[in-house]
Structure 1
Amino acid sequence: MARRSQGWQFIASKLGLYILIFWAAITLNFIIPRLMPGNPASALMAKSQGKMPPSALKALEDAFGINTHVSLWRQYLGYLRNTVTGHMGISFTNFPVPVAKVIGEMLPWTLFLIGLSTIIAFFIGNILGLYSAWRRGGKIADALPVAFTVISAMPYFWIALALLYFLGFSLNWFPISHAIGSNIKAGWNFQSIGSVIDHATLPAFSIVVTSMGGWMMQMRNNLISILSHDYVQLAQMKGLPEPEVMRNYGARNAMLPVLTSFAMSLGFVVGGAVLVEDVFNYPGIGYALVEAVGNSDYPLMQGIFLIIVSAVLLANLIVDLLYTFLDPRIRRA
Structure 2
Amino acid sequence: MRYYARKFGFYLVALWAALTLNFFVPRLMPGNPVDVLMAKLAQRGGTVDPAARRAYELLLGADTSEPLFRQYLSYLGNMARGDLGVSVSAFPAPVSQVIADSLPWTLVLVGLATLLSFLLGVVLGAFVGWRRGTWLDGLVPATTVLAAVPYFWLALILVALLASGLGWFPLMGGYDVVLDPGWNADFIGSAAYHGTLPALTIVISSVGGWLLGMRNMMVSTTAEDYVLTAKAKGLKDSRVMIRYAARNAVLPSVAGFAISLGFVVAGSIITEQVFSYPGIGSKLLQAVQNNDYALMQGIFLVITVAVLGANLVVDLLYAVIDPRTRAGG
User: Shorter-chain TM-score: what band?
Assistant: over 0.9
Q: TM-score, normalised by structure 2?
A: 0.93
- Matched with 2:146 is 151
- Matched with 2:229 is 234
Aligned partner of residue 179 in structure 1, secondary structure: coil
Aligned partner of residue 29 in structure 1, secondary structure: helix
- Matched with 1:29 is 22
Answer whether contact 1:41 1:61 (CA < 8 A) is retained.
no
Aligned partner of residue 250 in structure 2, secondary structure: helix
Match of 1:89 among 85, 89, 103: 85
Answer whether contact 1:110 1:272 (CA < 8 A) is retained.
yes
Match of 1:18 among 11, 23, 26: 11
- Matched with 1:250 is 245
- Matched with 1:9 is 2
The alpha-carbon deviation at position 188 of structure 1 amounts to 2.1
Correspondences of 1:35-184 after superposition (within 5 Å): 35-44=28-37, 56=49, 59-63=52-56, 64-139=60-135, 141-184=136-179
Answer whether contact 2:41 2:47 (CA < 8 A) is retained.
no
Answer whether contact 2:31 2:291 (CA < 8 A) is retained.
no
Aligned partner of residue 178 in structure 2, secondary structure: coil
The alpha-carbon deviation at position 108 of structure 1 amounts to 0.3
State the alpha-carbon separation in 1 of the partners of residues 231 and 44 from structure 2.
Answer: 79
Identity of aligned residues (%): 50
Answer whether contact 1:45 1:57 (CA < 8 A) is retained.
no
Aligned partner of residue 145 in structure 1, secondary structure: helix
The alpha-carbon deviation at position 61 of structure 1 amounts to 4.4
The alpha-carbon deviation at position 190 of structure 1 amounts to 1.8
Q: TM-score, normalised by structure 1?
A: 0.92
Summarize deviations over 1:65-120 as a string: whole Å, max 9, x none. Answer: 42212111111111111111111100001111000000000000000000000000
- Matched with 1:4 is none
Match of 1:292 among 284, 287, 290: 287
Match of 1:264 among 248, 251, 259: 259
The alpha-carbon deviation at position 59 of structure 1 amounts to 2.8
State the alpha-carbon separation in 1 of the partners of residues 61 and 38 from structure 2.
Answer: 16
Give the partner amino acid of 1:215. Answer: W
State the alpha-carbon separation in 1 of the partners of residues 29 and 159 from structure 2.
Answer: 36
The alpha-carbon deviation at position 288 of structure 1 amounts to 0.5
Deviates more, 1:211-220 or 1:180-189: 180-189
Match of 2:269 among 267, 270, 274: 274
Answer whether contact 1:179 1:196 (CA < 8 A) is retained.
yes
Answer whether contact 1:42 1:57 (CA < 8 A) is retained.
no
Deviates more, 1:8-17 or 1:120-129: 8-17
The alpha-carbon deviation at position 36 of structure 1 amounts to 2.4
Summarize deviations over 1:265-308 as a string: whole Å, max 9, x none. Answer: 10000000000001111000001011111111111011101100
Q: 5+ unaligned residues in a row in structure 1: which ranges?
A: 1-7
Deviates more, 1:9-18 or 1:112-121: 9-18
The structure-2 alpha-carbon separation of the partners of 1:292 and 1:61, relative to structure 1 and needing over 3 Å to count, comes to farther
State the alpha-carbon separation in 2 of the partners of residues 307 and 78 from structure 1.
Answer: 19
The structure-2 alpha-carbon separation of the partners of 1:243 and 1:305, relative to structure 1 and needing over 3 Å to count, comes to same
State the alpha-carbon separation in 1 of the partners of residues 49 and 274 from structure 2.
Answer: 36
Aligned partner of residue 270 in structure 1, secondary structure: helix
Give the partner amino acid of 2:139. Answer: L
Answer whether contact 2:27 2:293 (CA < 8 A) is retained.
no
State the alpha-carbon separation in 2 of the partners of residues 55 and 173 from structure 1.
Answer: 50
